[in-house]
Structure 1
Amino acid sequence: MVERFSFDLQTVLNLRLQEEEKAMNEVAAKEAEYQRALQGRSHLEKSLITFLQEQRHARASQSALSFRHSVSWRRDIQSSLREKDRELADIHRDICRAQERLNEITQKRKILEKLREKKEYQWKRKYARKEQEFLDELAQNQFRQHRDEASL
C-alpha cells in the first residue's frame, strides 16, 4: 500500500493563506476609505466652487458684514480641503504600507507553495518508481512461471 502525500508545513501554508486574505481585506478597506475621503473632498471642492460663483454674482449688493462672513466661510472650506488633503495623504501611506505587507505575505506563501510542489513532485517520482518496480517484479514472476511451465 502506498502512503498518501502529506506536506508537513500544510498548516503553516494554510495560516499564510488566511493571513494573505486578511491583508487583502485590509488593503480593500483602506482603498474604500480613500475613496470615501476623496468623495468628501470632492463635495467640499464643489461647494467652494458653487459658493465662489454665487459670490461673484452677489458682490455688488453685499454688505461689509456679509462679505466678512463669506470670506470666513471660504477660509473654513479651504482649511477643510487642506485637512482632507492631509487625510488623503495619510490614507494613501496606509494603503502603501498595507500593499507592502500583502506583497511580503504573498511572497512567503508562494515560497511555501513552491516547496509543497517540489515535495509533491518528489513523492510522485518515488511513487512511480515503486510502482514500476512492482510491475517489473510481476513481469519477471510471470516470465519465470511461463519458463518453468515450458520446461516441464
Structure 2
Amino acid sequence: MKKFNFTLQSLLDIRLRKEDEIKLMLAKKINQIQQSFAIQNEIHDKLRDLQETEKKRRKETENVSLLKASVAYRFKLKADLIEIVRKIDTLKNEADNIRAKLTEATKQRRAIEILKENKFSEWKKEQNDLEQKFIDDISQQSFIRKTRQL
C-alpha cells in the first residue's frame, strides 16, 4: 500500500504560515488596543482625581496660581484623552483590516484543505478497492486450489 501524497502540500503549508503570520499581526494589534484603553482609563482616573481635589481645594482656599495650573493640567488631560481616543479608533480600523485579511487567508487555506480531503478520500477509496481486489484474487485462487484437490 503506497503512502498518500498530496501534490499541493507545499502550497497548503505556505497558506498556513501566512495565516499564522496574520494571526500574530492581529494579536499584536489587539494588544496595542488594550494598552491604549488602559492609558485612556488612566487619563479618566486622573481627570476624576483632579476634579475631586479641585472641589476640596476651592472650598478651602482660593489660590489663583493653583487654579491656573489645575486648569492647564485639565486641558492637557483632555487633549491627551482626545488623542488616545483617536489612536484607539485608528487601531480598531487597522485591526478590522487585519481581520479581513485573516478571513481571506482562512478561506484560501480552507479551499486547499478541502482539495486535500477530497484527494485523500479518493486515494482511500482506491486503496480499499485495490485491497478488496487483492483479497478477492486470493480467495479465488484458494477456491481454485481446493476444487482441484477434490
Q: TM-score, normalised by structure 1?
A: 0.93
Q: Point out where structure 1 has 5 or more consecutive residues left out of the alignment.
A: none
* Aligned-pair identity (%): 23
1:42-121 aligned at under 5 Å gives the runs 42-60=41-59, 61-121=61-121
Aligned partner of residue 66 in structure 1, secondary structure: helix
Q: Which amino acid aligns with 2:43?
A: L
Quick one: distance in 1 between partners of 2:133 and 2:54? 92
Q: Which amino acid aligns with 1:69?
A: A
Q: Which amino acid aligns with 2:37?
A: L
- Aligned equivalent of 2:9: 10
**How far apart are 1:26 and its partner, in Å?**
1.1
Moved more, 88-97 or 65-74: 65-74
**How far apart are 1:64 and its partner, in Å?**
2.5
Number of residue-to-residue matches in the alignment: 149
**How far apart are 1:83 and its partner, in Å?**
0.2
- Aligned equivalent of 1:30: 29
Quick one: distance in 1 between partners of 2:17 and 2:127? 31
Q: Which amino acid aligns with 1:57?
A: K
Q: Which amino acid aligns with 1:52?
A: Q
Q: TM-score, normalised by structure 2?
A: 0.94
**How far apart are 1:54 and its partner, in Å?**
0.7
**How far apart are 1:68 and its partner, in Å?**
2.1
Quick one: distance in 2 between partners of 1:19 and 1:11? 12
Moved more, 82-91 or 23-32: 23-32
Q: Which amino acid aligns with 2:109?
A: R
Q: Which amino acid aligns with 2:142?
A: Q
Quick one: distance in 2 between partners of 1:136 and 1:11? 37
Runs of 4+ in 1 over 4 A off after TM superposition: none
Quick one: distance in 2 between partners of 1:139 and 1:145? 10
